[in-house]
Amino acid sequence: MFYGADYYPEHWPEERWEIDAKLMRDAHINIVRMAEFAWSKMEPKEGEYSFEWLDKAIDILSKYGIKVVLGTPTAAPPKWLIDKYPDILPVDVNGLTMGFGSRRHYCPNNHNYHEYTKKIVEAMTEHYKHNSNVIAWQTDNEFGCHESVCYCDNCLKTFRIWLKEKYGTIKNLNDSWGTIFWSQTYNDWDSVISPRRAVTSHNPSLLLDYKRFMSDSFVKYQKMQIETIKRIIPSSQITHNFMGQFNQIDYYNLARDLDFVSWDNYPVINFGDITFNIKKLSASVALSHDITRGLKKQNFWVMEHQSGPTGWEEVGRQLRPGEMRLWVYQSIAHGADAIIYFRWRTSTSGTEEYWHGILDHDAVPRRRYEEVRLIGEELKRIEKYVEGSVVNSEVALIRSFDNEWVFEIQPHAHGFRYMEQLKKYYNYFYKRNIQVDIINLWDDLRKYKLVIAPGLIMVNDEIAKNISDYIKQGGVFLTTFRAGAKRWDNRMNSTSLLGDLKDIVGIDIDEYGAIPTGEEISIKVGTEIGKASFWYDVVKFNTAKVLGTYESEYLKGRGFFTVNNYGNGKAYYVGTLPNDKILQIIMGKVLKDISLKEIPIKRKESVEVVRKIKESKDIYFVLNFNNEESSVILNKSMIDILSGQQVEKNLHIKPLEVRILIEK
C-alpha cells in the first residue's frame, strides 16, 4: 500500500533534498504529495513557468523508490495575479473584500481566475504527462476551508443565472421562495439579491439556495480542473483532500467527478475544543472515516495524517508514544488504502510554524520519526492481508447536506446541530462495534438491514419513493423529529408536517415545541424513564403503534416513539432527542428483529473492533483507546498478523495498542 508524507522541497535548500529522500526510504515511505501551494515557484511571473526545481525533486525521490502525487496550486493564487486582477479576492457577507496574505483567497466564480487556473493546470499536466513517477493528482487543497461563501458582484450575476436555470421564470422563483412575505417579490432576474448582511434574517429559501449555489460553484470549479487534466492525461487518477465532517460543500457532489477521494485526518487538532478525551475523539474520527468512505462507496486515502502537534498561533497537544500508530491503524480499519503524513518536516517560516511534522524544525529524526519507521515496517509485512480489504456494513446512516443546511439556517432550538444528532445515533453503533456506512438520500438502500435518517426535515417525491420502496421490500427504517416538515425548497408543508413521509411512518403530528436550552422533559419506553432535550413532537397515531411516551406535565401519556408496519418492512419514528439511556432501549427494540452478523470478539468499552473482508476472509482490527490495559475474549483461535503469534481465548492489549487478527 502507499505510505508517505507531504513534502515541500521549495521550503528547503536543494542539498537537503537527497538527505530527506534517504530518510524517507529508511522509514519505508514510498509516496509524497507536493506542489499544492507552490504556484509562485512554478510561475514566478505571468507565463514564465519554472518546473526545473520540481523535476529535480521528483528525480531524487524516484531514485529512492518514491512516487509523487502532484497538487494543483490553486488554493494559493500568487501576488502578481491578485495585483493584476484584484476582483479575484472574495467578498464577505458585509460586502467587504478580503485581502491577500493568507490562502484560499479567491472567488470560485471569478472568470479571470478560471482562465489562470486552466493555464497553470494545463502547464503542469503537459509538463508531467510522460513522467511515470507522477501517479496521481490532487485538485486544489481543502475546498471551502476558512471561507466557503463569496458575496461579490460576479457571484451575484452567476447566482442569477443559476436560479434562472433552476426555476425557469421569475414567477416560479417567487412562488417557491414565498417572496410575498415581507413584500420581497422580485419583478425580474436582475433584481434578485445575494444574502449579504441585512437588517435582520433573510428568507430561508434564499439562504438555502445560496448555500446550494456556492456548493455547486466549487463543484463546477473543480470539474474544470479535472477536465483539463483528463484531456491531456486521460488515464490520470485524480483526488481531492476532503475534511471529514465539514458541511459547507455537498461532498457527494464534489466527489462525483473524482477517481477516488482522500481526506485530512487530524484527531488531536488544536482548533476549537481542545479538551483531550481519546475515547470521545476515537468515535468522531471513525465517523469522519466512514463519511469519507461513503462518498464514492469505496476505499479512500488519507492525504494528510497527523504526525505531531498541530498549531498556528498556539501549539496543540503532543502525540504520545504509540498514539500515531493507533490513529493510522484506525484509518486503515475504516477503509484507508494509503496513509500520507502531514508533513515531512516542520516549517521554519509562515503561518504553520507550529504545525509539526514527522521531523521537527531542525530535521533531526526523533521519536515520531522512529514511530513512522516502525509503522512502515509493519505495513510492508502485512500489506498482503490489509490492502484492498473492505468494510461490509449492514447498517446505514443517511447524511443529507441539504437538510444539514436547513438546520444551520434555522436550528429550531438554541445550540441544536444536525451533526450532533447524527453522531448520537452513530455512537450507539460505534460503542457496540457495529460497522456503519454513511450514505446519500439517493443511494440504493437495499443492501442494508437498517437505515437511519436523523433530521430529515426536507424530502421530495424521489426521496420518499426511495425510502418507501426500501421499506416495502422488507427494510427497517428510522427517522426523527421534524421529518418531512418542509418541502425541498425550504418552505413549510401546508398539508401535513410529515409531508410525503406521512403514510410511511403512519402518524400525524398533533403538536410540537422546542425544549429550551438547559431544560429536559421526561420520556418513557417500557418501564424505563429517561430524559429528552431540544424538541418534542406529539404524535397522533394512524396506522402506527406507540412504543414510547412523554411523562412530563400535559404531555404525559402522549406518544413520541412509534413503529409502523409498511409493506414487508417497518418504519420507526422518534419524536424527540432522547438521552443515551433511552436511546439504547429504543435501538434495542429496533434491532430486536434484525439479524446482524456478530463479531466473534467480546471487549471492554473503548476497545474498537472493526471487521474488514478480503477475498471472503474476515480481518479484525482491535484498537485500544483506553489509557489502561484492556482484555478481549475470542470465541476461536486467531493469528495476530502484526506479531505472527497465535492468539487463544484471552487477549490482553496495552494502552494505545493495536492487534490485527485473522482466523486460522
Spatial contact of 221 and 196, defined as CB atoms under 8 Å apart: no
Residue from 268, 250, 283, 25 nearest 144 by CA: 250
275 pLDDT band, cuts 50/70/90, is low
Residue type, 548: G
Residue 269 to residue 281: CA distance in whole angstroms: 10
Task: Report DSSP letters for 416-452, one per residue.
Answer: --HHHHHHHHHHHHHHTT--EEEE-TTS--TT-SEEE
Catalytic residues: 142, 304
CA dihedral over 276, 376, 366, 308, signed as positive or negative: negative
Question: Mean pLDDT throughout 379-399?
Answer: 96
Give the pLDDT of residue 32: 98
Mean pLDDT for the chain overall: 96
Q: What are the pLDDT digits (tens) for 213-236? A: 999 999 999 999 999 999 999 999
Question: Is pLDDT above 90 for 401?
Answer: yes
Which of helix, strand or coil describes residue 134?
Answer: strand
Q: What are the pLDDT digits (tens) for 544-587? A: 999 999 999 899 999 999 999 999 999 999 999 999 999 999 99
Spatial contact of 639 and 651, defined as CB atoms under 8 Å apart: no
Question: Any idea how long the chain is?
Answer: 664
All 3 cell numbers of residue 636?
476461536
Question: What are the backbone dihedrals phi and psi of residue 272, each rounded to the nearest 5 degrees, phi first?
Answer: 75, -145
Give the pLDDT of residue 627: 87
Residue type, 34: M
- Spatial neighbors of 356 by CB under 8 A, at least 6 apart, are 307, 308, 309, 310, 311, 346, 368
Which of helix, strand or coil describes residue 539?
Answer: strand
Lowest mean pLDDT among 106-110, 278-282, 379-383, 611-615: 278-282
All 3 cell numbers of residue 506?
403512519
Residue 443 to residue 183: CA distance in whole angstroms: 39
Residue 617 to residue 38: CA distance in whole angstroms: 44
Spatial contact of 609 and 634, defined as CB atoms under 8 Å apart: no
Calculate the alpha carbon distances from 531 to 515, 536, 572, 581, 583 in Å.
11, 11, 19, 8, 10
Give the pLDDT of residue 277: 81
- H/E stretch holding 577 reads strand 576-578
* Total Cβ atoms within 10 A of residue 637: 12
What angle, rounded to 10 degrees, do the helices at 323-333 and 278-296 form?
Answer: 30
Question: Is pLDDT above 80 for 273?
Answer: no
Question: Is pLDDT above 70 for 272?
Answer: no
Question: Mean pLDDT throughout 154-181?
Answer: 98
Residue 68 to residue 60: CA distance in whole angstroms: 11
- Spatial neighbors of 625 by CB under 8 A, at least 6 apart, are 278, 279, 282, 326, 606, 607, 608, 656
Question: Mean pLDDT throughout 465-479?
Answer: 98
Residue from 392, 396, 448 nearest 616 by CA: 392
Spatial contact of 98 and 105, defined as CB atoms under 8 Å apart: yes
E-only strand ranges, 170-309: 238-239, 241-242, 262-265, 300-306
Calculate the alpha carbon distances from 152 to 54, 149, 569 in Å.
35, 10, 50
Residue 213 to residue 219: CA distance in whole angstroms: 10
Pairing of strands 638-640, 645-647: antiparallel
- Spatial neighbors of 417 by CB under 8 A, at least 6 apart, are 407, 411
276 pLDDT band, cuts 50/70/90, is low
All 3 cell numbers of residue 28?
519505508
- Spatial neighbors of 302 by CB under 8 A, at least 6 apart, are 262, 263, 264, 265, 331, 336, 338, 339, 340
Set out the domains of the chain in order of their start, with CATH numbers: 35-259 (3.20.20.80), 395-591 (3.40.50.880), 601-663 (2.60.40.1180)
* Structure letter (DSSP) for residue 11: G
Q: What are the pLDDT digits (tens) for 64-121? A: 999 999 999 999 999 999 999 999 999 999 999 999 999 999 999 999 999 999 999 9
Give the pLDDT of residue 274: 47
E-only strand ranges, 9-131: 31-34, 67-71
Give the pLDDT of residue 271: 66
